[in-house]
Structure 1
């Protein structure tokens, strides 16, 4: 998504600030939408909606982006909670502008009708309700102001430096892996990591992850794509396999899990 694309004018202020901060994290990381989707488990189209201000990202998506960019997720999650509270009310209050109407001529009074000079009596219970609504609105404004001040102080702090590899003239495509399932000496192999049993877990990448993804697919459990990224889908597949094989369900592929996969 281009950095210069403006956010919708009707976007709630809290949601606008959250979206702007998520955009900055994505730009500093120099990840493409496809790479961001692979590392967080949320599709590229979902991230286009989140970073375009069209919908609020789930809590897990915010935590995933903070994790892969080395950012403290607490301020982002606090701002998201405010945006969740105000998102629906803001859109309900301003769905669209009402079209102008042509004033109609006043209805003539009956000759015997005499206008009353007596002021209308207030509706019983209306004043307490108005006072309560005003108090709630004042409290919401105070909480929003305090949160914005906290976020501003957080922005003033020195940001964490994210070291990224030098950019080339054209972004290199993510590596692709091909599963070549064979049976060698009674053990299954996908022909990617030369039979290694290196311990891997959530967040790891590379040929060992791709080998495990191929063997999980051979076992009838889908890990998502064979992309060499140990993301949420691969984690779920590993836990499902460990449970089926009677192993400790910890989501980490160690020697016992590798042995069961290759068995």
Structure 2
């Protein structure tokens, strides 16, 4: 049984419940922090921060620990979502009451006589001047609004074209490529074509991430996985949904260790550092034993 340090007093109730739940799951696995790092895409230091309430873990880390511990993912993610909402809820600031006007005796000025002001405003010259200023102000405002409407599409187009990804490296890990914009500069680093589907290893230079993409000829994939090295893996269980399917992203700077795999109709194909199809076959000199690696993917 691990001897946990007390959680920070600054944690709200939802974040404290999440940290306690993650600690219980870690104990259930019987793994040390090193062992947990080897079983998931997250480092020992990252798990130290997550389990001690120093940082809210990403959703993919919670899913990974739940998978290793055999937890009820739906219940676990409900705890995570509550903690995430509490952490990211906007802070409402009470409206500031307008300052009360200073009493006349504090201003150092004497109010203009009401009768003089009425006589001044009745002057035809002043009224004409005020009317002209109002008309000119309305015209300028109308022209500015029209110019803004014309300029808006062009500005939006420039923004969309020049937009940089919303994350990089480990900040992207566990996310899908479209939302942060990692698909914009994605390229296929490796491709394998099977009789029933095509599997691609995709890489985004701007995000520094890889993911797996599968395009079945018909039907859908059962699972799509991305590997970096022997132990870093993220999987999307697509449950046979038709059409293109992708895995979450993994961060890497070494494409030689990346492997994209997909399972469709109980057949498996992998491409990248190794290329495997069932039955397993691999190139000589690969870091991964072909048959054993394929057995891990099939699980």
TM surpasses 0.5: no
More strand by percentage: 2
More helix by percentage: 1
**Shorter chain as normaliser: what TM range?**
0.3 to 0.5
**TM-score, normalised by the number of residues in structure 2:** 0.36
**TM-score, normalised by the number of residues in structure 1:** 0.41
